[in-house]
Amino acid sequence: MSSFVIARNYGQNTAPGRVSVKLDAAVNGELGFMIVTVAGYGRIPAAANAATGKMAGLVVEPADNTAGIQGALSVVVDVFTADFAADGTNPPTQADVGKLVYASSATTISRDSADGPPAGKLISFVTGDPQGRPCRVALDCMATS
């Protein structure tokens, strides 16, 4: 599992809850990955979908559609507050706590909107996190594409 999920929701609205997301062609939705939707299909967050991707949640039931066509397989995602690694180019810092942060990959968080679609609110930043995931983020999965 690439993301450490914590039990507390910090008052976060857990809607929409567990939902099924059809994967785009050539997408591997691994357990613990963040998934965004673009035109109704699940993709891995990246700079290429920064303007169009909407956070769907963390994968709790994975599927590998790398050899499939668009919509052939689905993953189940859920809303969590989770710990993520910091982006190597534009990492969040303590000064970004309380601000909107962005998913630069399936497992990393950036402070720059050009790096990926909005992920949610940075709840805390723990320098020297023993698991290498200093960014605790309350995912915002209320938007739809």
**How large is the average pLDDT for residues 114-134?**
94
Q: What is the mean pLDDT of residues 64-85?
A: 95
The pLDDT of residue 80: 85
Q: How many helices (H) and strands (E) does the chain have?
A: 0, 13
12 pLDDT tier (thresholds 50, 70, 90): low
What is the C-alpha separation between 33 and 55, in angstroms, rounded?
11
Range 55-82 average pLDDT = 95
Is 81 a residue whose pLDDT tops 60?
Answer: yes
Q: How many Å separate Cα 85 from the centre of its chain?
A: 11
Considering only residues 63 and 145, tell me which one the structure prediction assigns the higher pLDDT: 63
Residue with tokens 């990955």: 33
Distance of CA 12 to the CA centre of its chain: 15
Mean pLDDT of the chain: 89
CA distance 108 to 34: 9
Mean pLDDT of all residues in 45-65? 96
Residue 69: exposed, middle, or buried by beta-carbon count in 10 A (0-12, 13-18, 19+)?
A: exposed
**What is the pLDDT, as a whole number, of residue 96?**
97
- Indicate the pLDDT class of residue 69, thresholds 50, 70 and 90: very high
Whether residue 100 contacts residue 118, with contact meaning beta carbons closer than 8 Å, is answered with yes
pLDDT at position 145:
46
